[in-house]
Amino acid sequence: MKCLIASVVVGLLVGMVAIAVAAAPSAPSLNASSILADIRANGAQPVVAALWSDDGRWNQVMVNIGSGRSDWLQVGVALRPGTDAGAAEELDEAIFLALGTAPVAVLKLLKDHQFKTKFVCSSNIGIDYTPTEARRFINERIKILSGLSNEKILATRDECLVGLRAALADFGTSK
């Protein structure tokens, strides 16, 4: 009799766990298309809140945006309206990092006012890095942007360069 009761209890517990797992919402996949679909379905603010509440997922999304891949830059644009404070700063930093691999695409985002040049091309990015690292990142982007000659983005490039040079001065020029 005790075996029968134990078996029934174990069976009920296994069934309850299975129901709970099935009913629990799964976290959206960390690929650009699923995040964009989630934003279309639920809006940017709830998606940002969900990602922001999970440091690992948020950080991975920021790394992906910082890669400069077109699909991830689209995610950055779609997330932007849902950000504020720290999330907005980290998103600006990811866009700054993307300047290194996709400068023309990022400058087009700045030109189209998807992001503000004064935040992406400024010393705001330096808060998560040592002054030496910040200077290195800024110098790399200055070099990359200085080599661009696409007439459609020259004014935006020049505005960003002014901001980057001012940021470099903020961190000092000594190594």
Percent of the chain residues past pLDDT 90, beyond the cut: 70
CA-based nearest residue to 79, from 58, 101, 106: 58
| Residues 140-155 pLDDT 10s | 999 999 999 999 999 9
Residues in the chain: 175
For position 77, what pLDDT does the model report? 98
Percent of the chain residues past pLDDT 70, beyond the cut: 81
Q: Is the pTM of this model over 0.95?
A: no
pLDDT at 3 over 80: no
CA-only gyration radius of the chain, Å: 22
Question: Which string of DSSP letters, residue by residue, matches the chain?
Answer: -HHHHHHHHHHHHHHHHHHHHHHSPPPPPSSHHHHHHHHHHH-HHHHHHHHHTSHHHHHHHHHHHHTT-HHHHHHHHHHGGG--HHHHHHHHHHHHHHTTT-HHHHHHHHHTTSS-HHHHTSGGGGGGS-HHHHHHHHHHHHHHHHT---GGGHHHHHHHHHHHHHHHHHT-S--
